[in-house]
Every structure is written in C-alpha cells, then in structure tokens.
Chains A and B, each alone.
Chain A
Amino acid sequence: MKKSGRIFKDELTGTWFIIGLVFAVFAVVGIIVFAISGDYLAFGGIPCGFQQVTHLYCPGCGGTRATWYLLHGRFIRSAYMHPFVPYYVADYLFFMVNTLLVTFTKKLGFSKYPVTITIYVGLGLLLVQWIVKNVVLIFFHIALI
C-alpha cells in the first residue's frame, strides 16, 4: 500500500509506533497466559511483595484484576480496580489504528494526535491513583481494592 506522505505533529510518533509493535507481541503472550491461568493470577495466586512487607498498596496493585475484568468485558469494574489499565489499552488501540490510518490514507485519522502527552497523562494517572489509594487506606482505614 502506498504511503500518504502526511506528517505527524508529534515527533516521537514513529518511535512509539515501533515500541507499540513490540508491545503487541508481549500483549499476545500476556493474553494467552491470562486465558490459561487468569483466575489464579487475578485473585490471590501470587501476592504483591510490596504489600506483604509494607501493608501498603504498590503502584500496580489491582492491575492484574483490572486486566482480568477488562478481558471479561467489565470496563467500569476494571477502571475502579486500576484506571491506568483501561486508559492505556484504549490509548494504545486508538494510537496504533490512528497511526496506520494517517500513514496509509489521505484523509482518515488525526495527524496531530498528541501521543506523548496522552502517555504522560497515563503515567500521572498511575501515580495519582497510587497516592489516593494509600491516603484512603492510611487516614480512613478503607481498603479500596
């Protein structure tokens, strides 16, 4: 297929796309592992080492359950467990499809899609949800997940 010649506004779009293709391989492996032993992994199979030692949440606590709920189509429950997971899956899928559309078509897709900023927002979401969960746990003694 012939390339459209449109230029992306974000200078790192090409780098992110290559990293996204590598990530896709790991994602396929992860989905196969989840299909085989998702129930075991998501619900207490391997406990979080950080939580075992400190009795606090680590930044990834709830991520496995969020992935399990997401793969079972329960999006709201997944976002409640760990908002980073559904956010990044949506961002990743949109970015990959958008990049292909902009590269190979004349009109479809957004060449100004700010992918680096959306990645920053995701990392911020990861840190903020970690802080909020631990603040609620420490000061109100409520285990959110």
Chain B
Amino acid sequence: MSSSMPTVEEVMQNGFEDLSQEAPPPKNGATITGFVFGLVSVLCCCMPCFNIVLAVVGLIVSIIGKKKTYMEALPIWGICLSILGIVLSITSFIGFIVYMFICYFYV
C-alpha cells in the first residue's frame, strides 16, 4: 500500500490537477435557457400573446437557474430581459387595442 501512496512531491505536482479534473462542471442550462427565452421575448415584442408566454417561461427558468448555478450575471440578465418582455408584451397589447379602436371609430 505504501508503494501506491503518492509522495509529497507528487501530491504537490499533481494534487491540484487531479482535484480540478474530478470536480464536475457546474450546470448552467437553466440559466442560458432563461436568457435565450428573455432575449427572444424582447425580439418578438410585437406579438403580445406569444411574447408573454416566452417571457413568463424565461422568468421561471431564470429563477430556477439562479438557484442552481454559481454564475451571477447571466441569470440576472435573463430575469431582467424576461421582465422587459412582459412589460413590452403588455405595452404592445394596449397599443394594438388603441390602434384597433382608432381605426374602427375614426378612420
């Protein structure tokens, strides 16, 4: 057993490398997905019914991702973009209703 045990020099040389190899990479799929959904919801702000679904899903997934990952910026970006998507969705829906009202009664 003593022959297989690493020496101090070997631990000093390889110990940290082995530790870094064994540590699993942090999972951040939810974070990236929340960010992508928030971004697409902002890009698709002119279609409010679809946009609000994307934004709400993006918000949920971003909040889930924020709890799971060590990353700070991306989940916050996802949450901010999703909230912006919800605001744009409501705004565009109100704008569409006002436009239809004007077209119906004044044009």
Co-assembled chains A and B: yes
Taking CB atoms, residues of chain B closer than 8 Å to A59 are: 43-44, 46-47, 50
Quick check: A50 and B29 within 8 Å, CB to CB? Answer: no
- Does A12 have its Cβ within 8 Å of any Cβ on chain B? yes
Taking CB atoms, residues of chain A closer than 8 Å to B44 are: 58-60, 126
Q: Which of B7-48 contact A (CB under 8 A)?
A: 27, 29-30, 33, 36-37, 40, 43-44, 46-47
Q: Which of B46-68 contact A (CB under 8 A)?
A: 46-47, 49-50, 57, 60-61, 64
Taking CB atoms, residues of chain A closer than 8 Å to B70 are: none
Main secondary structure of the interface of B (DSSP, over half): helix
Quick check: A19 and B29 within 8 Å, CB to CB? Answer: no
Q: Which of A101-123 contact B (CB under 8 A)?
A: 116, 119-120, 123
Quick check: B61 and A53 within 8 Å, CB to CB? Answer: no
- Does A91 have its Cβ within 8 Å of any Cβ on chain B? no
Tally inter-chain residue pairs, CB-CB below 8 A: 50
Quick check: B33 and A12 within 8 Å, CB to CB? Answer: yes
Give the docked Cα–Cα distance between A49 and B49 (Å).
Answer: 12
Quick check: A60 and B50 within 8 Å, CB to CB? Answer: yes
Known: A49-B96, A52-B99. A19 touches B60 (CB 8 A): yes
Main secondary structure of the interface of A (DSSP, over half): helix
Taking CB atoms, residues of chain B closer than 8 Å to A53 are: 99
Q: Give the Cβ gap from B3 to chain A, nearest Cβ, in Å.
A: 38
- Does B95 have its Cβ within 8 Å of any Cβ on chain A? yes
Taking CB atoms, residues of chain A closer than 8 Å to B33 are: 12, 116, 119
Quick check: A123 and B36 within 8 Å, CB to CB? Answer: yes
Quick check: B47 and A15 within 8 Å, CB to CB? Answer: no
Q: Which of B61-107 contact A (CB under 8 A)?
A: 61, 64, 92, 95-96, 99-100, 103
Give the docked Cα–Cα distance between A98 and B37 (Å).
Answer: 23
Quick check: B36 and A120 within 8 Å, CB to CB? Answer: yes
Give the docked Cα–Cα distance between A127 and B50 (Å).
Answer: 13
Interface residue ranges, B against A (CB under 8 Å):
27, 29-30, 33, 36-37, 40, 43-44, 46-47, 49-50, 57, 60-61, 64, 92, 95-96, 99-100, 103
Interface residue ranges, A against B (CB under 8 Å):
10-12, 15, 19, 49-50, 52-53, 58-60, 63, 116, 119-120, 123, 126-127
Supply 9 further A-B pairs (C-beta < 8 A) apart from A15-B60, A49-B100, A60-B47. A10-B29, A15-B30, A15-B64, A19-B60, A59-B50, A60-B50, A116-B33, A123-B36, A123-B40
